[in-house]
Amino acid sequence: MSDGSRGWQEDSPERLYVITGGRSGPSAPTPLDLVTLVVARSAPTPGMQPELAAILRLCQAPLSVAEVAAYTGLPVSVVTVLVSDLLAKDQVLVRPPIPPAQIPEQALIKAVIDGLQKL
């Protein structure tokens, strides 16, 4: 920041660099994508980085990585780094979303309806 009077901008690249510790991706390979669900296992601790604490507060109920990014106002890449840090500290659980139910074949549905009508 060449102009010291303008202050710290919320969306500045410098801020994002500081938040992630200069990392552009998770330090360990993690299975995180936009729809991965994140659930907090613990509450924020005193002195914790504010962004990590915000994620733990948000994720008391399952939220996707994309939702966490939207609520925090941080880019998905930054949220991925932060969630992987929390995962490494065993403070969150992550899992892929529940797949949509498979729709049974139309022939099976007709057979069930025919069976019910015969009752």
Per-residue pLDDT tens over the stretch 4-62: 445 555 566 667 766 776 676 666 677 788 999 999 999 999 999 999 999 999 999 99
Fold of 24-99: Arc Repressor Mutant, subunit A (1.10.10)
Side-by-side strand order, sheet with 37-40: 63-64, 37-40, 92-95
Distance from C-alpha of 2 to C-alpha of 64, rounded to nearest angstrom: 37
Distance from C-alpha of 113 to C-alpha of 26, rounded to nearest angstrom: 51
pLDDT confidence bin for 103, thresholds 50/70/90: confident
Residues 68, 72, 75, 81, Cα dihedral to 10°: -70
pTM, 2 dp:
0.68
